[in-house]
C-alpha cells in the first residue's frame, strides 16, 4: 500500500515533476530532460541511499490489494452456515422452554467453533499471502553506476532499469536506448502484435498509449532485443495501476483437490442429514422427547459434516508449500502440489540445472594456439597457460617452455604485451578475450562481503570473467570500444552480434562486429579465419572440418563450446538483420567452458528412478557434451536413444511418439522442440515436469503438467508461465519438491481419514444406541464439544506429518486416482465403526452395571473423545507406531495433550462438570474407559501387522494413509 497519495508523494520529493507532466508528457521529452526532471543520471542511475529515501516517499512499486477480512467477518462467515443457524435457533427455542444453561453452553460452543474455523481460515489466508511474497518479480537496475538485481517492488521514479527479451516491464518508464527492442503490450492495448520501440522523442500533443513507442509500461513483456529505460511512474500511478484501481483483485482459485473436497463435503452433508433424520424418527418412535431428539439430531448433523475440512486442507497445502520454499522450490500454483505426486517424467535443461552453473572458461582455442585458463567461479583471478597444437590435438610446449601468465589487474595487460611465448600468442588471445567480453551483456559485480557474482547469463559471465583475468574490465572495454549496434541473441539461430567503435590503432577498421554462438552455426557463416600465421586466410572445408573436430573433442570432455567470429565495417550497417550482418565473417576461435555437474544431482537422478520417475536431459548444447554429462550423472544409460534438433525437425509426430520413451538425451534443440517433446510424452499418458528459462520456453512450460522455471537465470515470462520456480536452478530441488508434494498429498489423505472416521464413529454410536432403544449415549452439548476438541488441532497436526519412510521408493500415484484410492474408503468405514462401537460399548456397560444416566453419558463421552485422539496416531501411516515412533510427530503429541486436557477439564472441573452434565468416575470406570479407548490403537495395529505380513508374502504394497 502506498504511504502517501501520488500527487503528495511527487510534490514531496520532486516539485518540478508535476510541472513537467503538466507541460509535456514523458514521451514528448528527451531522455536527458526526463532524467533532469527526476533528478537522476542516465549513466549512473540513482544512488542506493537516494533510492531508499524515495521508496519511503513513494511506497512500494506494487499494486494495492484489498485489505484482508477482519476476524469478525470471518466469524460471521462461519456462523451463517445453515446447520449452525439451525443450531442457534434450537438454542433459542431451548432457552424459551426454560433450559437456559444448556442454551447458553450451546451458544458458547457455537462461538468457539466459529472462532476455531476463523482461526483456520486466517492461517490459510496468511499462508497464501506469504506464498505471494515468495514469487515477487525481480528487476535489473543501475544503482551507484553498477548493474544490480533488486525486487521490482523496490523501484522508484528515477531508477534506470535494464531490459532484455523475456523480462516483464517492472514499472512505467521512458526508454533511453534500445537495440531491436519490442514489447507485447496486449495486456494494456489489446494489440496482439509486439510493438517495436524507439528512444527518440515523439512529437505531437497527444499520442495514444499504443503509439507511445518510446515508453514501456508495467506488466507488459519484452519479446525481443535489449534496452535501458528510466522509471517515471510506479505502483498505482502506472497505467496498469490505474486499471487495477477500478477492478477488484481476483481471489485465489481453489485447487482441484479443494474443489473435490468441497463437493465431498456436500455429499457427506446430505448423507449425514439422512442418517440424522433416521435417528430423529427412530428416537421419537422409541418415545424420546421431541426437543431432546431435535437438539441431538441437529448437534449430530453439525458434528458429522466436516465443514472445516477445506480450510484445514488449505492450511496443510499452504504450510507445505512454505516448507518447500525453504528447500528452494517456490510453488506458484497450489494445484501443482497435487500434480507433483503424479509426475512420471522430468525433462530438465542441462546448464545450471544439472550442472553447478559456475560456468568458467577452461580453454581458449585458436589456429595460432591453445591457452588453458585456470581459476574457478567468478573471481577474476587465474592464469593463462600456453600450449601448442596440431589440428584438434593439443599438447603443452615442451622443454620447459610452457609458461603461465598470472593475470590480475593492470599487470595482466602488461604481460600480454610482453615478448617471448606470451607475446607470440598475444594477438589471438587478446582478440578472443576482448571480443568475447564485448559480445556479452553480463556484468561482473562484487558485493559488500567481497564475493563476486554475475548479473546476467552465466555463460556470458564466463567470458567477462575470462577477460577480467587478463585485466580487461567491462567498464574499460565499454569505454574504449563503445557498443553502437547489435543483433540480440535468439534461441533459434543461437547467435548474438554486437558492433563497436574501434580506436584507430586497433583491428584495422573504424567499426568491428563480434559474433558469438554455437560453433557449427557460426562456422557456416564464416568465409575466412585467422590462420596459423595470424593472417586472415580463406576458410576451406578442410579447415572447417578441423575446427569442428576440435569442437567435438572439447565437447566430449563435457565442456560447453562457443565460437567467436568478427567482421570489419566502415560504418554501422543500416540493416540490422541476421542475414545482412552475420555472414561473410572471419572466424577467430573457440571458448571451451567448464560447468561441472552438481555433486548432488547423480543421487537425485537415482532417487527419481527409484520413485518411478524417468529423468530426461534437454539442452541446446552439442550432442557429445550433453551425452558426456548425462552419462556422468546417470541420466544416459546403455541402450538409451539420443535425438538432436535436426532429428526432431525431420521426425513426424508419430515417429517422435514412437521414440520418446526410449530417448534420455535431446541435444542441439530449440525451445519450440520442447513443446513437441511434451506433447509426445503426454500422448503416452506421461505426467511431465518441464524446465525452462527463456521467453520461448513459455509454451512448453504451459503445456507441461508441471512447468518449472529457473529462479536465477529464468526470465519473468518463463516464471509467469510456470507452476514452480527453482530458486537455486537445481535438478535435485525438483526431486525434493516431488518428495514434498507426495508427503503433502499423503498428509491431506491422513487428515481426511481422521476427520471422516471420527465423524462416522459419532453417528454409529448414537444411531446404534437409539435404534436399540437405549437412548442417545451423548448429549447435544457433548456432541458439539467433541467436534470442537477432537476435530481441530489433531487434524492440523496430521497435516504437518513428516515424510514417510520409503515415500520415494513408491511409483507415482495415478493422475486420475481418487482421494479414497488404495483402500482408504474401506479403512475410514471400518475404523469409524470401531470408534463408534467402543463408545457404545462403554455406554452399554455403564447401563448394564446400573450406573446413572449421567455416569453412562460420561463414560461414552470420554471413550469417544479419547479413542478419537488415540486414532489420530493410527492414521499417521501404514507402518506400526512402534517403528514410526510414538513421539516422532511433536505437533500431534502437543495436539493430543491439549485436546485431552480440555476433555478432562469438563469432567474434573466442578463448574464445567455441571455445564456439560458429566460425573466423576470411579477407578474401575476409568479402567474401562481407557482400556476401550486404547483398543482403537490395538485393533488397528493388529490389522496393520496382518496386512503388512500379507503384503510381504504377496509382494504387494501396503495402501498409503
pLDDT digits (tens, 9 = 90+) for 270-323: 776 777 787 778 778 777 777 777 777 776 676 666 666 766 777 777 777 778
What pLDDT is attached to residue 79? 63
Tell me the mean pLDDT in the region 854-864. 95
What pLDDT is attached to residue 421? 31
Give pLDDT tens digits for 123-135: 656 655 555 555 5
What phi and psi values does residue 683 have, to the nearest 5 degrees? -65, -20
**Highest mean predicted confidence (pLDDT) among 64-68, 594-598, 853-857:** 853-857
Tell me the mean pLDDT in the region 531-542. 85
Nearest to 680 by CA among 702, 656, 714: 656
d(CA 725, CA 350): 16
Give pLDDT tens digits for 151-180: 888 999 999 999 987 788 999 999 998 887
Cell numbers given for 788: 470442537
What pLDDT is attached to residue 138? 83
Give pLDDT tens digits for 653-681: 999 999 999 999 999 888 788 889 999 99
CB 796 within 8 A of CB 895: yes
Give pLDDT tens digits for 330-353: 887 777 888 888 899 999 988 778
d(CA 164, CA 143): 18
d(CA 897, CA 866): 11
Q: What whole-number percentage of the chain has pLDDT above 90?
A: 32
Q: Choose between 921 and 127: higher pLDDT.
A: 921
Q: Is 349 a catalytic residue?
A: yes
What pLDDT is attached to residue 396? 37
Give pLDDT tens digits for 689-698: 999 887 678 8
**Least confident residue range of 130-139, 192-201, 349-358:** 130-139
CA distances from 192 to 188, 208, 454 (A): 10, 16, 34
What phi and psi values does residue 357 have, to the nearest 5 degrees? 60, 30
Catalytic residue among 167, 172, 349, 697, which?
349
Helix (H) or strand (E) holding 529: strand 526-530
Q: Residue 205 pLDDT > 50, yes or no?
A: yes
What pLDDT is attached to residue 647? 92
What phi and psi values does residue 620 have, to the nearest 5 degrees? -85, -5
What pLDDT is attached to residue 395? 39
Q: Is the pTM of this model over 0.75?
A: no
Cell numbers given for 325: 520454499
Tell me the mean pLDDT in the region 537-560. 88
Average pLDDT of the chain, as a whole number:
80
Nearest to 943 by CA among 958, 926, 923: 958
Residue 343 DSSP label = -
d(CA 507, CA 501): 10
Tell me the mean pLDDT in the region 453-479. 88
Using pLDDT thresholds of 50, 70 and 90, give the confidence band for residue 445. Answer: confident
Using pLDDT thresholds of 50, 70 and 90, give the confidence band for residue 715. Answer: confident
**Highest mean predicted confidence (pLDDT) among 235-244, 575-584, 826-835:** 826-835
What is the β-pairing status of strands 160-164 and 345-348?
unpaired
**Least confident residue range of 184-198, 237-251, 867-881, 908-922:** 237-251
CB 336 within 8 A of CB 255: no
**Least confident residue range of 20-24, 59-63, 68-72, 415-419:** 415-419
CA distances from 684 to 617, 678, 711 (A): 18, 10, 30
Amino acid at each position: 500500500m502506498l504511504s502517501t497519495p501520488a500527487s503528495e508523494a511527487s510534490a514531496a520529493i520532486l516539485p518540478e515533476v508535476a510541472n513537467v507532466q503538466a507541460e509535456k508528457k514523458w514521451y514528448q521529452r528527451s531522455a536527458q530532460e526526463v532524467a533532469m526532471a527526476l533528478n537522476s543520471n542516465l549513466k549512473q542511475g540513482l544512488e542506493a541511499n537516494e533510492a531508499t529515501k524515495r521508496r519511503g516517499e513513494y511506497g512500494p512499486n506494487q499494486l494495492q490489494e484489498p485489505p484482508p477480512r477482519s476476524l469478525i467477518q470471518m466469524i460471521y462467515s462461519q456462523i451463517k452456515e445453515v446447520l449452525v443457524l439451525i443450531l442457534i435457533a434450537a438454542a433459542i427455542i431451548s432457552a424459551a422452554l426454560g433450559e437456559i444453561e444448556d442454551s447458553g453452553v450451546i451458544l458458547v460452543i457455537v462461538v468457539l467453533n466459529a472462532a476455531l474455523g476463523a482461526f483456520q481460515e486466517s492461517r490459510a489466508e496468511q499462508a497464501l499471502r506469504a506464498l505471494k511474497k515468495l514469487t515477487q518479480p525481480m528487476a535489473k537496475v543501475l544503482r551507484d553506476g553498477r548493474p544490480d538485481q533488486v525486487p521490482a517492488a523496490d523501484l522508484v521514479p528515477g531508477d534506470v532499469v535494464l531490459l532484455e527479451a523475456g523480462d516483464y516491464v517492472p514499472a512505467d518508464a521512458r526508454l533511453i536506448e534500445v537495440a531491436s527492442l519490442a514489447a507485447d503490450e496486449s495486456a494494456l492495448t489489446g494489440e496482439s502484435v509486439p510493438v517495436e520501440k524507439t528512444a527518440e522523442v515523439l512529437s505531437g500533443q497527444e499520442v495514444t498509449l499504443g503509439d507511445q513507442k518510446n515508453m514501456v509500461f508495467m506488466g507488459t513483456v519484452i519479446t525481443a532485443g535489449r534496452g535501458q529505460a528510466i522509471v517515471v511512474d510506479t505502483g498505482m500511478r502506472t497505467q496498469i495501476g490505474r486499471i487495477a484501481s477500478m477492478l477488484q483483485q481476483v481471489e485465489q482459485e481453489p485447487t482441484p483437490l479443494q474443489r473435490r473436497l468441497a463437493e465431498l463435503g456436500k455429499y457427506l452433508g446430505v448423507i449425514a442429514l439422512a442418517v440424522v433424520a433416521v435417528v430423529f424418527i427412530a428416537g421419537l418412535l422409541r418415545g424420546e422427547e421431541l426437543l431432546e431428539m431435535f437438539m441431538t439430531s441437529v448437534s449430530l448433523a453439525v458434528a458429522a459434516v466436516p465443514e472445516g475440512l477445506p480450510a484445514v486442507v488449505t492450511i496443510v497445502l499452504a504450510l507445505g508449500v512454505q516448507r518447500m520454499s525453504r528447500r528452494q522450490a517456490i510453488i506458484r500454483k497450489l494445484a501443482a502440489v497435487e500434480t507433483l505426486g503424479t509426475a512420471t517424467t522430468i525433462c530438465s535443461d542441462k546448464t545450471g540445472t544439472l550442472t553447478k552453473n559456475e560456468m568458467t572458461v577452461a580453454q581458449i582455442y585458436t589456429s595460432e594456439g591453445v591457452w588453458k585458463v585456470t581459476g574457478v567461479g567468478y573471481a577474476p583471478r587465474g592464469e593463462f597457460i600456453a600450449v601448442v597444437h596440431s589440428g584438434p590435438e593439443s599438447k603443452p610446449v615442451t622443454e620447459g617452455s610452457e609458461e603461465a601468465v598470472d593475470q590480475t589487474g593492470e599487470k595482466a595487460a602488461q604481460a600480454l604485451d610482453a615478448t617471448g611465448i606470451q607475446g607470440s600468442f598475444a594477438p589471438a588471445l587478446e582478440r578472443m578475450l576482448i571480443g568475447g567480453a564485448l559480445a556479452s551483456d553480463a556484468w561482473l559485480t562484487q558485493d559488500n562481503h567481497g564475493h563476486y557474482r554475475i548479473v546476467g547469463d552465466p555463460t556470458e559471465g564466463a567470458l567477462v570473467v575470462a577477460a577480467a583475468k587478463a585485466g580487461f574490465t567491462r567498464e574499460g572495454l565499454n569505454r574504449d570500444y563503445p557498443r553502437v549496434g547489435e543483433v540480440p541473441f535468439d534461441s533459434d539461430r543461437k547467435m548474438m552480434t554486437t558492433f563497436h567503435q574501434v580506436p584507430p590503432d586497433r583491428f584495422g577498421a573504424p567499426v568491428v562486429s563480434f559474433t558469438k554462438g554455437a560453433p557449427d552455426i557460426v562456422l557456416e557463416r564464416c568465409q575466412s579465419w585467422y590462420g596459423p600465421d595470424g593472417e586472415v586466410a580463406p576458410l576451406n572445408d578442410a579447415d572447417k572440418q578441423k575446427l569442428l573436430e576440435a569442437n567435438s573433442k572439447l565437447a566430449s570432455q563435457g565442456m560447453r563450446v562457443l565460437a567467436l567470429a568478427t567482421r570489419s565495417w566502415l560504418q554501422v550497417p543500416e540493416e540490422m538483420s541476421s542475414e545482412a550482418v552475420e555472414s561473410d565473417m572471419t572466424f577467430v576461435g573457440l571458448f571451451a567452458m567448464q560447468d561441472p555437474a552438481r555433486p548432488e544431482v547423480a543421487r537425485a537422478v537415482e532417487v527419481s528412478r527409484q520413485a518411478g520417475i524417468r529423468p530426461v536431459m534437454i539442452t541446446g548444447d552439442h550432442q557429445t557434451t550433453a551425452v558426456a554429462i548425462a552419462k556422468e550423472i546417470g541420466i544416459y544409460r546403455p541402450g538409451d536413444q539420443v535425438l538432436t534438433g535436426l532429428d526432431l525437425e525431420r521426425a513426424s509426430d508419430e515417429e517422435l511418439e514412437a521414440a520418446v520413451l526410449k530417448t534420455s538425451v535431446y541435444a542441439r534443440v530449440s525451445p519450440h522442440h520442447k513443446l513437441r517433446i511434451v506433447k509426445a510424452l503426454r500422448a503416452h499418458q506421461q505426467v511431465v515436469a518441464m524446465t525452462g528459462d527463456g521467453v520461448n520456453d513459455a509454451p512448453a512450460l504451459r503445456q507441461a503438467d508441471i512447468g518449472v522455471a529457473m529462479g536465477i537465470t529464468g526470465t519473468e515470462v518463463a516464471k509467469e508461465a510456470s507452476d514452480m520456480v527453482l530458486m537455486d536452478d537445481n535438478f535435485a530441488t525438483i526431486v525434493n519438491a516431488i518428495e514434498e508434494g507426495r508427503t503433502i498429498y499423503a498428509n491431506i489423505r491422513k487428515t481426511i481419514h481422521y476427520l471422516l472416521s471420527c465423524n462416522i464413529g459419532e453417528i454409529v454410536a448414537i444411531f446404534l444406541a437409539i435404534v436399540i432403544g437405549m437412548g442417545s449415549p451423548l448429549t447435544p452439548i457433548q456432541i458439539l464439544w467433541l467436534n470442537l476438541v477432537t476435530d481441530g488441532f489433531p487434524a492440523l497436526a496430521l497435516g504437518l506429518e513428516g515424510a514417510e519412510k520409503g515415500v520415494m521408493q513408491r511409483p507415482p500415484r495415478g493422475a486420475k486416482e481418487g482421494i479414497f484410492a488404495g483402500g482408504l474408503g474401506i479403512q475410514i468405514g471400518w475404523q469409524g465403526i470401531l470408534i463408534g462401537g467402543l463408545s457404545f460399548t462403554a455406554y452399554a456397560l455403564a447401563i448394564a452395571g446400573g450406573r446413572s444416566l449421567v455416569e453412562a453419558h460420561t463414560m461414552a463421552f470420554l471413550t469417544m473423545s479419547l479413542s478419537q485422539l488415540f486414532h489420530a496416531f493410527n492414521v499417521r501411516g501404514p507402518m506400526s507406531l512402534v517403528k514410526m515412533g510414538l513421539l516422532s510427530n511433536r505437533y500431534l503429541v502437543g495436539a493430543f495433550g491439549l485436546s485431552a486436557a480440555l476433555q478432562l477439564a469438563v469432567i474434573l472441573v466442578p463448574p464445567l462438570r455441571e455445564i456439560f452434565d458429566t460425573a466423576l468416575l470411579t477407578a474401575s470406570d476409568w479402567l474401562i474407559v481407557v482400556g476401550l479407548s486404547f483398543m482403537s490403537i490395538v485393533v488397528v495395529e493388529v490389522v496393520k501387522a496382518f496386512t503388512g505380513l500379507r503384503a510381504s508374502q504377496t509382494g504387494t504394497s501396503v495402501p498409503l494413509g
